[in-house]
Structure 1
Amino acid sequence: MRTSTKTLLALTAAAAFGGFAATAIRDGLETPARAAPSLPAATPTVAALPAAVGTTPLPSLAPMLERVTPAVVSVHTKQRVRVSPFGDDPIFRRMFPELTQERINQSLGSGVIVDARHGYVLTNHHVIEGADEVSVTLADGRTLAAEFVGSDPDTDVALMRIPAQNLSALPLADSDRLRVGDFVVAVGNPFGIGQTVTSGIVSAVGRSGLPGLGFQNFIQTDASINPGNSGGALVNLDGELVGINTASFNPRGSMAGNIGLGFAIPTNLARNIMNQLIANNGVVIRGTLGLESQDVTPQLARGLGLDEARGALVTQVFAGGAAAAAGLQPGDVILAANGQRIDGRDSLRNFEGLQPVGSRVTLDVRRDGKPLQLATTLREQPRSLAGLQLDPRLAGATFAELPERLRRAGLAGVLVESVERGSRAAQNGLRKDDIVIAANVGQFEDLAGFRASFTRAPAQLILRIVRGNRPYDILVQ
C-alpha cells in the first residue's frame, strides 16, 4: 500500500458523514451534561454589535440564506441487516437461522434540491449507499419518501427524486469561476441536530491527491463541515450552489471536530454526473484514453531527458483506443492534459475519470526528450466485461473496474462484480467482490488491461486475488 494505514483510516472515517456515528452524537447532544460542582464563574461582559456604522447598515447573510435554506434538506436512511453471532460464516448461519436477527441501521446526511419542477435532490453516494429506505425532511418540517435515481461512487454523487410540490431549488453556479479567497457558506445538518449554517472562504480549487477517495477535483474550504453535512450545499454570496459538501480531514478522525479542512464537489462536476444519471438510467459512462502508465522516478527522468521526475510514462497502448488514434507510443511521457499538469499515473487516471465520452483532449508529451503535442477524442470506457469473452474457464463471472477509492488505497486490478451460482467460474472458486490483482496471462492494472492480456488463451490459467485483505492463488480449470 502506498498510503499509510492511519491516514487512510482517518480520511475514510472523515468521508463517511452519512454514518451511524452522527445519530449517536446527536443523542449525546440531546442529553444534558452533568457538570461537577465548581466555584461560580464570573459572567463576561459581551459587547453587542451595532446595527449600523453611521448611516451604513452592517452586512448580513440573512437575506441570502432566507432564499437558500428552503432548498437544503436532511436525508434519513434505513438499512436492514441480518446479524448473526457467527458473523458471516454461511455454514453456521444456515445451521442456526433462529439465532440470526434483523437490525435496522439508521444514518443521517444532507441534500440539495436542484430542480423544483422534477423534484431532483443531489446528495453524496456515501450518504445513501446500501440504504433500503430513504426519506427527506424539508426546512418547513415536511418529510417525504425519496426515490433513488442513480449514483456514482467514484465521484461520490447521488441523485434522488421527491414529490415535486411547493419545492424551492438552488440555482447552479459556474464553479470554474471560483477563486481562492471567495467567500462561501456551507449549509447542512451536522450531527443530526438540525439545519446549520457556517461560513468561510475558498482555500483551494482543483484539489486532488487525497487518499481513500475517488476521482477528485475538490473545492477546499475552511467553512466548518462536520459529520452530517455530507451532501449539503456550499453556496456563494449570491445564494448560488457552487459545490456539494462531501468530506473533511482531521488526522484524528472526523469525530475529533473541524480543523478548517473541508472539501466539496464542484457544481460543474455534480451537474455533469446528474445529467448522465438522468440520461443513462442511473449510471455514468466515462471516457478513456486506452493506455497504461507508471510514475516517472528520478532514475527514469534522467534516462528520458526530463528536467524533473514527474509525468505519466506510457507503458502500453491498447489497439483501437483514443491513445492509439492520437499516435501515443510506449515510452512517451504525458506531462499535461488540456493544460492541466499531470504529475503521475494517478493524476492521469483522475483526469480521465472526470471526462465524459467524446471529450477532446490535447496532451503535452515528451518523446525522446523532445516536446510534442497530440490531440484525440476520449472513447467509451466499458463498465463491465463478461468472463466468457475472455476465457471459457471464466464463464459465469462478470468483471468490472476497481472502484477508484480502492485504487487510491494502493490496489490495482479488476473487481469480480458477480458470479453466477453453479457456473464454471463459481466451480473454480471465484466469488463476488474478489479483486483480481495479477494473472499469468500478463500484466494489467484495470479492465482494459485485463482484457488485453487475454490475447492468447494460456494452457494453464492462474489468478491472484485479494479476498478479505488476504491474497489467494486460484488455478482456473
Structure 2
Amino acid sequence: MDLSDNLADIVGRVGQSVVAIHGRHRVPSSGVIWRHGVVVTAAHTIRREDGIEVTLADGRTIATVLAGLDLGTDLAVLKLDGVDLDPVEAGDARSLKPGHLALAVARTDALGISTDFGVIGSTGGPWRTWRGGQLDAFVRLDGGLRPGFSGAALADMRGQVVGICTSALMRGPGMVIPAVTVERVSDELLAKGRISRGYLGVGTQQVRLPDAWVSKMNVSFSSGLLISSLAPGGPAEQAGVLIGDVLIELDGKPCRDMDDLYAALGSTSIGQQLQIALIRGGERQASSVTVGERPQRNSCR
C-alpha cells in the first residue's frame, strides 16, 4: 500500500501542473506548466498557430499564444497570459538508468488526469535526433505512448519531472526530452521564437567509400555523404556542389555521416565560410560554402 499511495500522491501533485492542449483535430495532447505562465509540449502535436487552447487542472479552458516551436527537439512553447499556476519541480534525466521506475502524467480529455506506469528502457549520453536537434541525454521508455501522451510529464519516484514524453523522435518506443534540454530550448524559443541552425541545402545518403578511394584521398575513414538532392539557390548549389558528389570533409573535419554534418552546422556557423572537400568522378575537389540559416519549416498544416 505504501508504494501505491506514493505513486498516487506523485500523480496528484504533478497533475496539477499538467494541461490538455487543443492544438490539433480530435485527440488533445498534453502539456506541462514549466515556468510561471509558460507551457511546454511536443511540437508535432501543434497543427496550427492560432486558436490554441489549454484545459487546466481546475477545468478552465483558456486561450494561449504559441511562442515558438522546434521540430529538431520536438518542443513547443506556449505562453499563458494572466494565469499564475505553479510549475512542476524539474529533475535531471541524466541520472536515470535502465530499469528505473517512472510515471507519465497526461491530461488528454475532460475526464482529468491519466497516467502510465513503467520503466526506463535504455539511456545514454547526448543524442542528436534525426531532425538535427540535440538532446542532452538519450532516454528511451520501455514501451510506446498512448494517444494524447505526447507532451506528458515524465516523473521519477521523487516526484520530480525529468522530461517531456514524445512519440515523434523514434519509431516504436516513446522517448523523453530531458528537462535540461527543455530549459535550453525554451530559453531560445521565448527569446527568438525559433532555434537557429546552419543550412547547406543538401539531401544526403551515407555511402561506403571504395578502398581505392580511401587510399587515393588519404583519409582515415571509410564512409561519406552522397549528395542526392540540392535546394534550388541554396548555399551548396551556389558553391558549385553537384548531385552525385560525395562529401568527405567539412571545415577540415571528417564528414562521415549525418551526425558529423549536423555537428558542423550549429547556430554559430551561420554566415561563416567553410571549406569543403568532396569526391567527384573519383577525384578530390575542394570548394568553400557560406552557411545559411535553415528555413523554419512550420509544422502547422
TM-score (norm 1): 0.45
What is the CA-CA distance between 1:61 and the residue it aligns to? 1.3
What is the CA-CA distance between 1:69 and the residue it aligns to? 0.8
CA-to-aligned-CA distance 1:73-113 (integer Å, 9 cap, x gap): 100136xxxxxxxxxxxxxxxxxxxxxxxxxx455111000
Residue type at the aligned position of 1:69: G
Change (3 A) 1:110 1:306: same
Alpha-carbon distance in structure 2 between the residues aligned to 1:248 and 1:197: 19
Matches within 5 A, 1:232-247: 232-247=152-167
What is the CA-CA distance between 1:199 and the residue it aligns to? 1.8
Partners of 1:294 and 1:314 within 8 A in 2: no
Match of 2:184 in 1: 272
Q: Is the helix fraction higher in 1 or 2?
A: 1
Residue type at the aligned position of 1:165: V
Alpha-carbon distance in structure 1 between the residues aligned to 2:140 and 2:196: 26
Alpha-carbon distance in structure 2 between the residues aligned to 1:72 and 1:227: 16
Please tell me whether residue 167 in structure 1 is matched to residue 88 in structure 2: no
Residue type at the aligned position of 2:22: H
Partners of 1:301 and 1:307 within 8 A in 2: no
Please tell me whether residue 315 in structure 1 is matched to residue 227 in structure 2: no
Match of 1:35 in 2: none
What is the CA-CA distance between 1:270 and the residue it aligns to? 2.0
Secondary structure of 1:201's aligned partner: strand
What is the CA-CA distance between 1:208 and the residue it aligns to? 6.2
Change (3 A) 1:175 1:262: same
Residue type at the aligned position of 1:230: S
Change (3 A) 1:265 1:350: farther
What is the CA-CA distance between 1:278 and the residue it aligns to? 1.4
Matches within 5 A, 1:223-238: 225-238=145-158
Unaligned runs of 5+ in 1: 1-50, 79-104, 252-258, 318-322, 335-343, 359-379, 385-399, 406-477
Residue type at the aligned position of 1:228: G
Match of 2:55 in 1: 137
Match of 1:182 in 2: 100
Residue type at the aligned position of 1:278: L
Of structures 1 and 2, the one scoring higher in RCO (CA 8 A, sep 6+) is: 2
CA-to-aligned-CA distance 1:155-182 (integer Å, 9 cap, x gap): 2211001134341211222333333232
Unaligned runs of 5+ in 2: 226-245, 270-289
Match of 2:206 in 1: 295
Residue type at the aligned position of 2:147: P
Please tell me whether residue 383 in structure 1 is matched to residue 301 in structure 2: no
Match of 1:451 in 2: none
Residue type at the aligned position of 1:333: P
CA-to-aligned-CA distance 1:252-280 (integer Å, 9 cap, x gap): xxxxxxx7x21122222222111001122
Secondary structure of 1:60's aligned partner: helix
Match of 2:119 in 1: 201
Give the percent of matched residue pairs that are identical in Structure 1 and Structure 2. 27
Output the aligned Cα RMSD. Answer: 4.0
Alpha-carbon distance in structure 1 between the residues aligned to 2:102 and 2:11: 12
Partners of 1:219 and 1:243 within 8 A in 2: no
Partners of 2:119 and 2:141 within 8 A in 1: yes
Alpha-carbon distance in structure 2 between the residues aligned to 1:157 and 1:294: 27
Partners of 1:184 and 1:223 within 8 A in 2: no
What is the CA-CA distance between 1:64 and the residue it aligns to? 2.3
Partners of 2:41 and 2:152 within 8 A in 1: yes
Q: Which has the larger radius of gyration?
A: 1
Match of 1:154 in 2: 72
Please tell me whether residue 285 in structure 1 is matched to residue 196 in structure 2: yes
Q: Is the strand fraction higher in 1 or 2?
A: 2
CA-to-aligned-CA distance 1:124-143 (integer Å, 9 cap, x gap): 22222324311111122121
Residue type at the aligned position of 1:382: G
Partners of 2:106 and 2:113 within 8 A in 1: yes
Change (3 A) 1:113 1:306: same
Match of 2:140 in 1: 220
Secondary structure of 1:202's aligned partner: strand
Residue type at the aligned position of 2:167: A
Alpha-carbon distance in structure 1 between the residues aligned to 2:4 and 2:146: 29
CA-to-aligned-CA distance 1:192-230 (integer Å, 9 cap, x gap): 76421112222123596887x553645210255112111
Matches within 5 A, 1:324-473: 328=252, 333=254, 344-351=256-263, 357=268, 382-383=292-293, 400=295
| Residues matched between the structures, number | 254
Partners of 1:151 and 1:277 within 8 A in 2: yes
Secondary structure of 1:61's aligned partner: helix
Change (3 A) 1:178 1:67: same
Match of 1:60 in 2: 6
